Structure 1
Amino acid sequence: MTAPSRAARTWRTVHSAAGGLALDLGLYAISAGFAAATAATSTLAPHRAWGSIATVGYLLAALLVAGQLLVRRARPAWAGTAARSVVAGLAWLTTALLPLVAQSVQRAAGRTDRAQEEVVVVEHAGIRLTETGTPYLGHDAIAALPADERLLGYTPYQPGMALFGLPRAATDAWWTDSRVWFALVTALVLTLAVATLRDTRRFATGSPAPAAVLRGVQAATVLPVCALTLATGGDDLPVLALCLLALAFAAAGRPVATGVAVGLAGALKLFAWPVALVLIFWGATRRSGLRVAAGAFGLPVLALLPALLVDRDALVENVLRFPLGHGLVTSPAQSPFPGHLVATTLPAGRAVAAALLVAAGLAIAVRLLRRPPRTAAATALICGYGLLAAILLMPSTRFGYLLYPLALLIWAPALLSAPTRVPVSRTEAHARA
C-alpha cells in the first residue's frame, strides 16, 4: 500500500468515526482550548476579544456534539449530516460572526483596538478609490506620512480588495466595517460552492458525499484560524471561499465558471494566483485550458488596468516593491516558520530562503508538466501542499496564512465523488435516472 493511500485511509477512518461526530467533538473541544488560550495570552487586543467570545461558542458546539453522540443510536436523525450541519452553522455564528459584529459595534463606538491593521488598510483603500480613482498611495505620499503611519499607507493587495472598503467611504457605521462585507461575501460564495457540489444533475455518478462537503465547509469557517481571521481581519476569507468555489466548479466540469471564480479571487489577492495556475493545468487536461485562463488571469489584469492608468508608480510600490521587502517599511509578517528562521539566522539567509522557495516552486512545476491534475480533488491537493510549502519557506509570512492550505486539503475529499471529465446535461441526467 502506498503512502498516499495509507494517509487517505487514515483520514477516512478519523473523518467517519462515530458517523463524523468523534472528529466534530475533537475539533470543537480543541478549538475551545485554543480560543481560551488566545483570550488569556495574546498580545493583540482584537484576538483577545475574539477568544473571550469564541471560547463559549466552541464549548457550546462541543456540548451539542456530545449530546448527539449520546442519542446517536436512539435518534439517528439527530446525529446525521443535516443535524451536524446545524451545529456547524451555530458554531460559525458564535465563533466568527458574533465576535465580528461585537468588535465592529465597539469600534464604531470609539474603540480603536477592535480591528487589525488590514481592516483599516482596506477601508482607506476604498476611500482613496472613490477620491482618486486608485486605491494606492505613491512612494512620495507614503514618505510624507509620519513614520509610525507609513505601514498603514501601504495597500499590498490587488485592486479588487478596495471594493470592500467602499461602504466605509459612504458612511461611518458598524455595518460598513469591511469585515462585515468580508463575512457576507464569504457566506454567499460558500453557499454557492455547496449548492454546486450538491447539484446531481451535473454529475454522471452522483454528487460528492454530504459528510465530506460538511467537513470542507467546517475547515473554511469554524476552524480557529479561519474564525479568528474573519472576526479580527477577514480579508483572506473571501479569497479562500472563491478558490473553493472554483474547485467546486471544476468538480462539476465547468471550466469557464472555474476561471471566473479563481479570477475574482486573484483580483483580490495574489495568494489566489498559484491556485489559478494549477487550475489552468487541470483545464488543459480537458482541452479547456484557455477557457480557464481567460477568467483566471483576465479578470485580475482587468482589475489592475485602472490603477495602472491612474498611477503606475503607486501600483508598483504597493503591489510589488512592498511585498518583496523594498518598501519604505518592512512587513510585520514574521511568524517563526522555517523560511523566516533561515532568513534571519543563517549567513546570507534571505538568499538561502529564496533558493529553497524557488526549488519548491520548480518541483511543483515539474509535477504539473509531467502529470497535470485530471481531477478537481488532485488539483486541490496540489494547491494545498504547494501553498503550504510556500508559506513555510517564505522569509516573511503569517501564521494565519495557513488557513489556505488547511482548507484546500480538507476540501479535496469533498470533490472526490464528482467526475471531472464529462459534464452531464440536464436531459442526459434525467435519461440516466
Structure 2
Amino acid sequence: MTAHTDPATPAARRWAALDTAAGGLALDLGLYAAATAFAAITAVTSTLPPHRAWGAVATIGYALATLAATTQLLARHRAPGTPLAGLPARWTITAFTWATTALLPVVTQSIERAGGRTDRAQEEVIVVEHAGARLAEHGTPYLGPDAIAALPPGEQLLGYTPYQPGMALFGLPRAAVDAWWTDARVWFAVATALALAALVTTLRATAAPAPPRRAAALLRAVQAATVLPVGALTLATGGDDLPVLALCLLALALAAAGRPGRAGLAVGAAGALKLFAWPVAIVLICWAATRRSGSRTALGALGLPVLALLPVLLVDSDALVENVLRFPLGHGLVTSPAQSPFPGHLIAETVPAGRAVAAALLVAVGLTIAVRLLRRPPRTAAATALICGYGLLAAILLMPTTRFGYLLYPIALLVAAPALALADTRNGPGIPGNPRAGTGRKAYT
C-alpha cells in the first residue's frame, strides 16, 4: 500500500494523492470492496475449513463496511465538511470492521471448537496450546527430537513448536481451563488490541505538527494491521503473528515519540514471541545508536528474548535447538508445510541446488542491508520502519519455506511509515537539541 522512501519522490506523491482522495474515503471504499470480494471467494473456494468459516462471517462485515464507506462518500459529495465523512466516523467504521471480520470470527470459531468442532483452528493454535501445557508441566514448551520421533508420523509436525518460548504463554489459559475463552486466538486478539491501543495513544500524544494529517496517516496504519484480509484472516484462524506485529509497531511508535528504552522493551517482548521480530530489533538498535541511546534500546530488545530463552535452555537445550533452529531451517524430522509459491520456494524446488541458491540470495540481501545500516543508519522511526518493511519483504519472498500471511509484516510496517514520520518528535539528524526537530522534514532519511 506504500512504495515511497522520500516524501519528495513521484511515488510518494502518487501514494499521497491516492491516500487523501476524497478525504481518504476513496481508498477506504476500495479497500473494503476488495476485501468483500476476497472474503466471499475464500468462503466458497478455500480448501481450509477455518478459512471458509472466516470468509462466511467476514464477507458480511466487509460488505457492511463497503456500504458505510459508500454512504460517507455520498454524504461528503452532497455536504462537504459533514461529520459523517470525517475522521471520527472513519475510525468508527474501521473499529466495526475489525470487530466483525476478525474478533467475531475468533469468538465464533473458538465457541464452535469448544463445542466439539475439530476443524475450527489452524495447526499453530493447537501447537501454541500444547506448548503452554508443556511449559506448565515441564518448564519448557519444547519436545526433544527423541520425543518427536516417538510420535506417530501424522502427529510429528504438531510436536514442533517453532516459536520463541514467550509464545507458550498464550497457551497457558487452555492448560488451566478447557473453555472457548481459553482458545489461544482469544488471547492473541487481546494482546494485539492492547498493543495497538498503546500505539494509537503514543502517536496521538506526540507534539509533532499537522495533527489532522497525522491522525489520517495513523488511521491508515491501523487499518493495515487490522482490517486488511491478510490480517483479519490470520487472527481469526491462527493469530500468532498479530501480537508480534502489533508489538513491533508499538516499538516504532515509541521510537517516534523519543522513548528508546520503552521501544526496546516493546520489540524485545515481540522477539520473545517469534524470530520475525529480531530483524526489527536490530534495525531499531541502529536507530537508537544515532540518538546515543543504543545501549538503552538493546537492553530490552535483546535482554527480554535472552531472559525468555535461558530457562528453557537450562531445562533442555537440544529440544530448543531442534524446534527453533533445525525445524525452521528445514533440518527437522518433518518438513514445514509453509510453502507459498514465492520466488525463494520456486527456486528451491525447480533450480538445481535451488536451496543453496535461495540461501545465497538471502545472505546477499542480508549483507546489503547490513552495509546500509553501517554506512547510513536510520535517523528516524519512519526510516527504521521502511528498512524493516523492505528487508522483511525481500526475506519473505526469498525464503524457501514461507507463508502468504507473512506479507502482513512488511505491508503494515511500510504503511505505518507516514504516520511515524508525522509523529516523530525529532525528525532530521539525531542530535540532541536539533533545531529542525519536529518540523516534519527529512522524515525518510
- Provide TM-score, normalisation by structure 2: 0.93
Give 1:423 shift: 8.6
Residue 181 of structure 2 is aligned to residue 192 of structure 1:
no
- Determine what percentage of the aligned residue pairs are the same residue: 74
Paired with 1:231 and 1:15, the residues of 2 have a C-alpha distance of: 27
| TM-score w.r.t. length of structure 1 | 0.95
Partner of 1:327: 332
Supply the distance in 1 between the matched residues of 2:70 and 2:181 (Cα, whole angstroms). Answer: 35
2:32 is aligned with what amino acid?
Y
Deviation at 1:413, TM superposition (A): 0.7
Secondary structure class of the residue paired with 1:269? coil
Is the alpha carbon distance of 1:286 and 1:86 closer, same or farther for their aligned partners in structure 2, counting shifts above 3 Å?
A: same
Aligned to 2:92: 86
Question: Residue 287 in 1 paired to residue 292 in 2?
Answer: yes
Letter in 1 for 2:357: V
For residues 109-258 of structure 1, what are the structure 2 equivalents within 5 Å?
Answer: 109-200=115-206, 203=207, 205=209, 209-258=214-263
Aligned to 1:101: 107
1:31 aligns with one of 29, 35, 43 = 35
> Which structure 2 residues correspond to residues 379-418 of structure 1 after superposition, within 5 A?
379-417=384-422, 418=424
> What residue in structure 1 maps to residue 302 of structure 2?
297
The C-alpha deviation readout for 1:366-421, integer Å capped at 9, x for no partner, is: 11111110000010000000000000000000000000000000011111112335
Q: Which residue of 1 aligns with 2:442?
A: none
Aligned-residue offset at 1:206: 6.3
Q: Which moved more, 1:411-420 or 1:313-322?
A: 411-420
Of 24, 44, 60, which residue of structure 1 is paired with 2:64? Answer: 60
Which amino acid in the other structure matches residue 218 of structure 1? Q
In 1: Cα distance, 2:5 partner to 2:411 partner: 19
**Structure 2 residue ranges without an equivalent (≥5):** 439-445
1:14 aligns with 2:41: no
Partner of 1:316: 321
Distance 1:286 1:206, change over 3 A: farther
Deviations 1:191-226 (A, max 9, x none): 0000000013xx354667100000000000000000
Tell me how far apart the structure 2 counterparts of residues 422 and 125 of structure 1 sit (CA, whole Å). 45
Unaligned runs of 5+ in 1: none
Aligned with residue 45 of structure 1, among 35, 38, 49:
49
How far apart, CA to CA, are the structure 2 residues paired with 1:422 and 1:415? 18
Deviations 1:31-81 (A, max 9, x none): 000001111111100000000110110010000010011111526211111
- CA distance in 2 between partners of 1:396 and 1:306 (Å): 29
Contact 2:139–2:312 (CA under 8 A) maintained in structure 1: yes
Cα distance change on mapping 1:80 and 1:390 into 2, 3 Å:
same
The alignment partner of 1:167 has SS state of helix
Letter in 2 for 1:224: P
1:268–1:423 distance in 2 versus 1, CA, 3 Å = farther
Cα deviation digits, residues 119-165 of structure 1 (max 9, x gap): 00000000000100000000110011000000000000000000000
- The code of the aligned residue for 1:405 comes to P
Deviation at 1:422, TM superposition (A): 7.6
- Do 1:334 and 1:340's aligned partners in 2 also have CA atoms closer than 8 Å? yes
- Give distance in 2, aligned partners of 1:250 and 1:10: 27
| CA pair 164-3 structure 1, distance change in 2 beyond 3 A | closer
Query: Do the aligned partners of 1:340 and 1:393 also contact (CA within 8 Å) in 2?
Result: yes
- Secondary structure at the counterpart of residue 209 of structure 1: helix
Deviation sequence 1:331-370 (CA, Å, 0-9, x none)? 0000000000000000000000000010011111111111
Query: Is the contact made by 1:252 and 1:423 (CA closer than 8 Å) also made in structure 2?
Result: no
Native 8 Å contact 1:340 1:394 kept in 2: yes
Superposition CA RMSD, Å: 1.5
Say which of 63, 74, 78 aligns to 1:70: 74
Letter in 2 for 1:45: P
Give secondary structure in 2 for the equivalent of 1:397: coil
1:6: how far off? 1.1
- Shifted more, 4-13 versus 135-144: the winner is 4-13
Match of 2:443 in 1: none
Which residue among 333, 349, 354 is the counterpart of 1:344? 349
